[in-house]
Amino acid sequence: MSEWQIADLDLDAYLARIGHEKVRPSAAALRSLHEAHVRSIPFENIDVLLGPHPGLKLKVIADKMVHRRRGGYCYEHSLLFAAALESLGFDVRRRMARVDPEKPSARTHMVVIVRVAGVDHLVDVGFGTGLVTAMPLVDGVEQEQNGWLHRITREGPLWTLWRHEHGEWVPLHATDDLPQHQIDYEVAHHYVSTHPKSPFTGQLVVMTRGDRLSKRLVGDELTTEHANGEVTKEPVPPAELDGVLRSLGVELNTTDLTTLLG
């Protein structure tokens, strides 16, 4: 069996989930698939909070995110998307990134590098409110992403993704071309899903992207940020959680909702 369990993905069901037709590999198709994925499948850490997390086997991820129409966090998003891209014939390399790279943080974020027509692209469907579509992996390239300007730079072996916020460039994450294996993501996932200092073990995190805006439910507060700089924050009391989750594309069964609230 392939290390990445590609055969366990029902490609037609995945494409139906994101509302996209089957396409041949091209830069335009990669951008279109990337945007369809991030606009259809929310970022969320609910399985971490419900615990224990069911793991990163592709069949488990696809059952949740495709067939049960749930979301997931970076490993789940990127492993699923990478499998779909490979099924479509894209040249895919799975990599690991260091979030907030100017600090001594761990390499805990999964990204994907895809080569199309001789050009590498950064593919990052699992960064919450990050990229909406793939970016060429070219030093100095800048691209508007849903209203926010992003940039990629290279220093030595490291590629850094930046976002322009409040008049300055903020580094989001940095990666290199070190090959990764399934076990590398399993180890990082274990830390992220169990360690008390992980940002995902102590509070609810759900993120989605709309037209030139992003929404982040962190704990019991919903933040809506517009590309023009406008930000609104709203408290989410327990009685309203189910409705807010549904508005963000997350539908929980009664058992999971009760556990999450409890």
Active-site positions read 74, 109, 124
Q: Are strands 168-175 and 205-210 parallel, antiparallel or unpaired?
A: unpaired
Give 115's strand partners. Answer: 91, 120
Reduced to 3 states, what is the DSSP secondary structure of residue 62? helix
Tokens read off for 217:
């439910």
Residues 6+ away with beta carbon under 8 Å from 243? none
The answer to whether the bond into 42 is cis (omega within 30° of 0) is: no
Contact 162, 151 (CB under 8 A): yes
Q: Compute how many other C-beta atoms are within 10 angstroms of the C-beta atom of residue 5.
A: 18
Could you say which DSSP state residue 260 is in?
H
Helices (H), the chain: 11-18, 27-40, 46-50, 58-62, 74-88, 182-194, 241-247, 254-261
